[in-house]
Structure 1
Amino acid sequence: MKTSTCPSSVCLLFIFTIFFNSVTASRFNIPRLSPIKGAILQEPEIRSSERNISGDYEDLFYNQTLDHFNYRPESYSTFQQRYVISSKYWGGANSSSPIFAYLGAEAPLDNDVLFIGFLPDNSIRFKALLVYIEHRYYGKSIPFGSREEAFKNTSTLGYFNSAQAIADYAEILMYVKKQYHAEDSPVIVVGGSYGGMLASWFRLKYPHVALGALASSAPILYFDDITPQDGYYSIVSKDFREASESCYQTIRDSWSAIDKVASQPDGLSNLSKKFKTCFPLKTASELKDYLLELYSDAAQYNQPLRYPVNVICGGIDGEASGSDILSKIVAGVAAYEGDHKFCYFSPNNESETAVGWSWQNIKLILQRFGSNIIFSNGLKDPYSSGGVLENISDSVVAVNTVNGSHCLDILRKNYGDPDWLVKQRETEVGIIEGWIAKYYADLKELKIYDNRNLYSRKI
């Protein structure tokens, strides 16, 4: 891959890692780290017709290399990779205005463009060109012509890994800089959760492409032999216990209560009716997995103005005195999901995200989201689940808070955002402004140096 030269100080490592002190994973079977799932849950009033990318954004495709690292004949195959650009507020190449690039993660790109607000919210301030790049094997960026072929076997899935993904991003960003004659424009890459891990790794691997990285809620230390592991579900348990001890105890006792009912004649049928499931339960595990995901999502996306952990515990604790354990759990579900729903959960249709993330997480990323049973006995104080909670160096900066929720800092600004969130975003922007100011100063010195050398050679 072609490299470019830059002032030595510009080429120093800059990684900006954000970690909110809450949960950093999701789901029992497939620990998924979507930065926007909570945002979508919080705004159900948005109609699908309003989720189309607006006219300010251009939907494009790049003829991407299948394999960036080998030289087998099949490695020269290509596929169409989707990226989206907005140049509405870009200051132009002549002013070396920056490029903000969002690195897509384990989902199609559409919702990222809609809900990741850090880029458009700051585009006027920085006069930035905005670029969003879809992760290979997701959305419309599927190699081999179809999902069926791409997920067919380990040979076709062999190109589905993080190293190939960040090489994709580098190739597209260098192409965009060339197309816009923006070779001197600094690039800031942004990612959330797994995408934040990609942003961090991208800055390490391709420092000639990206000046810095904003990695929101990125568990970049959550690997064996790097950070002591205590288990994601222990942290979920801790969140509920801090909200309400009685709520925590009720949920903890509910697992055995579910098993007890399920073991009785017509037990699964009774559970289906009690919990208003959208399909007859076949096993007790189906119900427990649903509840586990509900509690995990509530903890992970425990956003201001809603605080779903408190909503669930309010329903559980607010149930009439003397009610049985499962009636209290049903009340918690109704409080979270809405008691107007005809049924509360339906069979999981495996999406490309579910299948793709399962492959990435188990086979390639090799993260260890501990297997602690939620709300079990013997709960230990959890560690930080691999987020960076303190500065690693002068250029690897952590901004954290005891409040917040997963990737909240890079979501859209909203009226009523708490002061701590507003200040946190201002801190992030201030750090990025410092990077870019230093870059411009170094670039100016480099051009003066080059002009002097050119003048000397002419003489």
Structure 2
Amino acid sequence: MDDTFALKYLVDKTYFNETVGGPILFYAGNEGAIEGFYENSGFITKTLAEELGAYVVFAEHRYYGTSIPPNGFEKENLKYLSVLQVMMDYVKLIEYVRKLNGLEEQPTILFGGSYGGMLAAWMRMKYPQHFQGAIASSAPILWFNGTINPSAYTDVASGVFKSMGGQECFDGLKYGFFDLVSVQFDKSKYAQVKEIFNLCDDLTSKDDVQDLISYVSDSLGSMAMVNYPYPTEFLNSLPAWPVKESCTELKKIPDINETDKEAGTPAQFKFNNIQKLQAAANLSYNYTGNLQCLNLTADQGGSLDGSGWEIQTCNEFPMPMGDDPSVSCFTWQNWNQDAFTQNCMTQYGMTPKYDWALDYFGGRNPALDFAKASNIVFSNGQLDPWHAGGITANITENTIALYIKDSAHHLDLREPNAADPVSVTEARAVEMAYVKKWVSHYKTRIASLSKYNAREEIGAKSQVSQQKSDF
């Protein structure tokens, strides 16, 4: 592989106040093209940038978007898709941007959402000389073996569906998944299931049905993550409060009445529940109604890139995922570490490093491991399933946590909207106050250092003059 590659970054100087020396607001790009994160981070690019007169930089993560090394996806080169390489990319980039624009004495504040939030927090911990603070939104830095219950994501997501759609919605999803799983073993039902979901291709095997189950489960789980209070286009086109709307669609499917039950067959009951499941999930991937048929191999990530992320989860970020049937309305599936490891070895020739992130960055005991960290705000939304692996309690007075009621995945980084819950508006105010404090403290230190250096220089000249006068 070539020794160098082009790393894309975006610069926004719309509000930059060169006269007062505004700070740099640096977004640590994560698993996708950087434009998608820029377009969905208006709190940074507009609200904070205008308030602070800031110079805004959004950096693209290597192996995503257009920042892909030549032959980078060949197996022998996948080792270069590592978090340490990414962090050093961003260190070198901020050094370059500062020098190029004469901003060497301006503070740089990190931002990131989700995996980007993990990077923001870790870079503040590892490189405090380059980054003077970090807002780490929806950052699941504890989602690793030994620190997370594998069923945590679907446990939280199930709770969101129940709270917004009631027991009827919860039960409809649960029974729908149960019946869809049972169809795996009856090929005579495959054609009708294909019709219900409007699939592009025939179902021909249990594996095909499992692919459908996984697709539907991922669609509903993602919907819980981006359950925003207004219409968005982040992953797919979605209405306001999509979980609530999804449950509304599910409830439109009528139950089989008592007469139907007497005359019907068990298969009819299965299909009734599966129809409810389809109605709920359809909103996630076909809210506009423009989808001609459902292609199970299509990427569901929207602006996110699943291929690169799969490689990272097979290397440094194996995140345990499973279901607890006693809590979840999703399909029951245990976390199988052996099977996950075998798949990674087959696909990428990699053995997942299950303990690496916790060994290198810490997190098994956050209060101890992060006690020396400073100038970090960890924010997590109550509705976001990822909050289960995030920091939700203050570590120190300088490393704090915001647990935001009625908020989904990094909603606080999005542009303020009239539909935002009060809790999100209040959280943004806290984040802005901390950013201002970090900027002010750094500028004060720089000014003090400049005065000290000036005094040293004057003192040195005075000594030289005295020496000359002595001769």
TM-score class normalised by the smaller sequence: 0.7 to 0.9
1:399 counterpart SS class: strand
Residue number in structure 2 paired with 1:389: 392
1:431 counterpart SS class: helix
2:26 counterpart SS class: strand
Q: Alpha-carbon deviations, 1:371-429, whole Å to 9, x = none?
A: 546526999xx995221111111111111212111011111223433322222211111
Determine which structure has more spread, i.e. the larger CA radius of gyration.
2
Amino acid in the other structure paired with 2:443: Y
Residue number in structure 1 paired with 2:25: 100
1:214 counterpart SS class: strand
Shift of 1:229: 5.4
Amino acid in the other structure paired with 1:178: K
CA distance in 2, matches of 1:417, 1:199: 24
Residue number in structure 2 paired with 1:358: 310
CA distance in 1, matches of 2:74, 2:331: 42
User: Is residue 329 of structure 2 the alignment partner of residue 375 of structure 1?
Assistant: yes
2:5 counterpart SS class: strand
Larger RCO, structure (CA 8 Å, separation 6 or more): 1
CA distance in 2, matches of 1:298, 1:198: 24
Q: Alpha-carbon deviations, 1:247-273, whole Å to 9, x = none?
A: 212211222322444443442111111
Q: Which of the numbers 420, 423, 437 marks the counterpart of 1:417? A: 420
Greater alpha carbon shift after TM alignment, 130-139 vs 256-265: 256-265
User: Is residue 126 of structure 2 the alignment partner of residue 205 of structure 1?
Assistant: yes
Q: Which of the numbers 60, 63, 68 marks the counterpart of 1:137? A: 63
CA distance in 2, matches of 1:262, 1:272: 12
Residue number in structure 1 paired with 2:260: none
Residue number in structure 2 paired with 1:256: 178
User: Is residue 88 of structure 2 the alignment partner of residue 171 of structure 1?
Assistant: no
Q: Alpha-carbon deviations, 1:170-196, whole Å to 9, x = none?
A: 000001000011111000011000000
2:144 and 2:317 in contact (8 A); partners too: no
In the TM superposition, 1:426-445 aligns within 5 A as 426-445=429-448
Greater alpha carbon shift after TM alignment, 250-259 vs 405-414: 250-259
2:138 and 2:387 in contact (8 A); partners too: no
Shift of 1:319: 2.3
User: Is residue 459 of structure 2 the alignment partner of residue 456 of structure 1?
Assistant: yes
What TM-score do the two structures reach when normalised by structure 1?
0.76
1:228 and 1:383 in contact (8 A); partners too: no
Of Structure 1 and Structure 2, the greater helix share is in 2
Residue number in structure 2 paired with 1:329: 277
Shift of 1:134: 0.5
2:64 and 2:305 in contact (8 A); partners too: yes
Residue number in structure 1 paired with 2:218: 293
User: Is residue 90 of structure 2 the alignment partner of residue 87 of structure 1?
Assistant: no
Distance change (3 Å), C-alpha of 1:307 and 1:138: same
Shift of 1:344: 5.4
1:262 and 1:284 in contact (8 A); partners too: yes
What TM-score do the two structures reach when normalised by structure 2?
0.74
User: Is residue 411 of structure 2 the alignment partner of residue 403 of structure 1?
Assistant: no
2:400 counterpart SS class: strand
User: Is residue 318 of structure 2 the alignment partner of residue 347 of structure 1?
Assistant: no
Distance change (3 Å), C-alpha of 1:114 and 1:343: same
User: Which 5+ residue runs of structure 1 have no aligned equivalent?
Assistant: 1-73
Distance change (3 Å), C-alpha of 1:450 and 1:226: farther
User: Which 5+ residue runs of structure 2 have no aligned equivalent?
Assistant: 231-239, 258-271, 334-384, 463-471
CA distance in 2, matches of 1:263, 1:229: 27
1:158 counterpart SS class: helix
Residue number in structure 1 paired with 2:343: none
1:232 and 1:372 in contact (8 A); partners too: no
Residue number in structure 2 paired with 1:16: none
Residue number in structure 1 paired with 2:264: none
Distance change (3 Å), C-alpha of 1:218 and 1:265: closer
2:25 and 2:109 in contact (8 A); partners too: yes
Residue number in structure 2 paired with 1:112: 37
Shift of 1:328: 2.1
1:236 and 1:299 in contact (8 A); partners too: yes
1:326 counterpart SS class: helix
Shift of 1:202: 0.7
Shift of 1:88: 2.5
Residue number in structure 2 paired with 1:151: 73
Amino acid in the other structure paired with 1:183: E
User: Is residue 244 of structure 2 the alignment partner of residue 310 of structure 1?
Assistant: yes
Q: Alpha-carbon deviations, 1:67-117, whole Å to 9, x = none?
A: xxxxxxx7x81111111112222122x633200011110001121222221
CA distance in 1, matches of 2:441, 2:129: 15
1:276 and 1:342 in contact (8 A); partners too: no
Shift of 1:238: 2.1
1:230 and 1:385 in contact (8 A); partners too: no
Distance change (3 Å), C-alpha of 1:278 and 1:175: same
2:312 counterpart SS class: helix
- RMSD of aligned Cα (Å): 2.5
1:262 and 1:271 in contact (8 A); partners too: no
1:102 counterpart SS class: strand
1:191 and 1:199 in contact (8 A); partners too: yes
2:177 and 2:331 in contact (8 A); partners too: no
